[in-house]
Amino acid sequence: MTAKNRSTGKNNNAKRNTNEQDMSRSALRRQREREHRYQSILKSAATLFASEGYHKASMENIADMSEMSVGALYFYFKNKEALLIELIDEIGQLVRKTLGREFKKHGSTLEGFKRAGYAFFEDFCTNNPEKVAILLRESVGNGPEVEKCRKEISDKLTGDVKEALLAVCENQGIRFKSKFAAEVITVSILGIYERVAYQYMFWRDMSDDLKPIGRDAVEFILGGIENLFTENGSCT
């Protein structure tokens, strides 16, 4: 190969590398733009579902708030139900992350369990009223696919709480009085959290008082948990 050919080959390779880099940057930019539009849609849908209600909010309103065409909106979500399902799933994961983080921070103890309860009311509920409205109010009674998503989140939360209770048992060398106690208290905890949040955030509009209200609820729950423990033995 002559020096001229080698030079031409290097130039071609350099151009090819430059083109590939440009394409890569362009692809990354498009990906970021798609992600931005996707998150903008979810944010707009959450705002409208929480303020107007799921049934009143329309895809046209969501598209308008997201500053895009209705056709572009349908490119990302096939219908309003798909939007609601995605929001429920994301919100459910946020609840799990919030509670799990606090429990792990304080170890497998009742103190960690208490702090996780506080975090639900003082962190998740207080800082995310729109998300609470969607999870507890707008997700109810909206078809089998939405109900399936709600059940999946509920099952995961139930599993998380039950696992945390059993970890407390193991860590403290205690056990529950009956084989059903861990699951019964888990279902009761989630039911109380949901009802207290709904009662004071939506029915009575007492969100500003949610911290002391939530703490009362958590203390009540802890008393019930301790009453179901025996003093010795391993968990059942």
Residue 221 lies in a domain: yes
What's the whole-model pTM score? 0.82
Of the two residues 195 and 230, the one the predictor is more confident about is: 195
Asked if residue 192 and residue 105 are part of one domain, the reply reads yes
Whether the Cβ atoms of residue 59 and residue 73 lie closer than 8 Å to each other = yes
76, 107, 139 — which closes off a domain? 76
Rounded CA-CA distance 227/229 in Å is 6
Q: Residue 33 above 50 pLDDT?
A: yes
Please give the residue range of the domain that contains residue 27: 3-76
- The Cα diameter of the chain in Å comes to 90
CATH number for the domain that contains residue 207: 1.10.357.10
Of the pLDDT bands very low, low, confident and very high (cuts 50, 70, 90), residue 9 is low
Asked if residue 150 and residue 102 are part of one domain, the reply reads yes
Predicted confidence at residue 158, as pLDDT, reads 95
Q: Residue 4 above 80 pLDDT?
A: no
Mean pLDDT of 202-221: 94
Q: Residue 30 above 80 pLDDT?
A: no
Structure token digits, residue 78: 């096939």
Predicted confidence at residue 20, as pLDDT, reads 54
Reduce the secondary structure of the chain to three states and give it as a string.
Answer: CCHHHHHHHHHHHHHHHHHHHHHHHHHHHHHHHHHHHHHHHHHHHHHHHHHHCCCCCCHHHHHHHCCCCHHHHHHHCCCHHHHHHHHHHHHHHHHHHHHHHHHHHCCCCHHHHHHHHHHHHHHHHHHCHHHHHHHHHHCCCCCHHHHHHHHHHHHHHHHHHHHHHHHHHHHHCCEECCCCHHHHHHHHHHHHHHHHHHHHHHHCCCHHHHHHHHHHHHHHHHHHHHHCEECCCCCC
Predicted confidence at residue 227, as pLDDT, reads 74
Query: What are the tens digits of pLDDT across the range 209-218?
Result: 999 999 999 9
Residue 173 lies in a domain: yes
Residue 142 lies in a domain: yes
Of the pLDDT bands very low, low, confident and very high (cuts 50, 70, 90), residue 206 is very high
Asked if residue 141 and residue 41 are part of one domain, the reply reads no
Number of domains in the chain: 2
Structure token digits, residue 121: 């009311």
41 CB neighbour count, 10 Å cutoff? 22
Asked if residue 88 and residue 33 are part of one domain, the reply reads no
Query: What are the tens digits of pLDDT across the range 78-137?
Result: 999 999 999 999 999 999 999 999 999 988 888 999 999 999 999 999 999 999 999 999
Measured between alpha carbons, how far is residue 214 from residues 7, 113, 159, 178, 210 in Å? 74, 14, 22, 28, 6
Asked if residue 113 and residue 180 are part of one domain, the reply reads yes
Predicted confidence at residue 100, as pLDDT, reads 94
Residue 125 lies in a domain: yes
Q: Residue 225 above 90 pLDDT?
A: no
Query: What are the tens digits of pLDDT across the range 37-86?
Result: 999 999 999 999 999 999 999 999 999 999 999 999 999 999 999 999 99
Of the pLDDT bands very low, low, confident and very high (cuts 50, 70, 90), residue 235 is very low
Of the two residues 147 and 232, the one the predictor is more confident about is: 147
Mean per-residue pLDDT over the chain, rounded? 87
